[in-house]
Amino acid sequence: SQTIHQWPATLVQPVGSPLSLECTVEGTSNPNLYWYRQAAGRGLQLLFYSVGIGQISSEVPQNLSASRPQDRQFILSSKKLLLSDSGFYLCAWSGQAGNTIYFGEGSWLTVV
């Protein structure tokens, strides 16, 4: 069966510091991969999605970037965090047909 792992689960980072959140999927090949952010009391905002290695689509202009160095690995990064980057970040995957997506456990980021 397919599983998705995301880490770290929580982190507190100072403003201006770098960020790296990592996500890996097991039990499937060539998945679509996604990074979502959920601010407190709000729905999920799609940040990036990828349909293949090295292929990244950005949905909103922001301080973050994403990379997909391997088929089942998706990384969310920032060179310098802002206070507004605080939130709950969710990695997700779907099959190539899209539709149902499955989420990782999420990462709570607090920028102080």
Partner 1 sequence: EDKVVQSPLSLVVHEGDTVTLNCSYEVTNFRSLLWYKQEKKAPTFLFMLTSSGIEKKSGRLSSILDKKELFSILNITATQTGDSAVYLCAVEVRGAQKLVFGQGTRLTINP
Residues forming the site for partner 1 (CB under 8 A): 32, 34, 36, 42-46, 49, 51, 59, 90, 94, 98-106
Q: Residue 112 CB, nearest distance to partner 1 (Å)?
A: 22
When the beta carbons of 17 and 110 are compared against partner 1, the nearer one is: 110
d(Cα 84, Cα 25) in Å, to the nearest integer? 28
Q: Are 70 and 53 in contact (CB under 8 A)?
A: yes
Nearest of 101, 106, 55, 110 to residue 83 by alpha carbon: 110
Q: Are 24 and 4 in contact (CB under 8 A)?
A: yes
Q: Residue 100 CB, nearest distance to partner 1 (Å)?
A: 6
Q: Residue 51 CB, nearest distance to partner 1 (Å)?
A: 6
Amino acid at 19: L
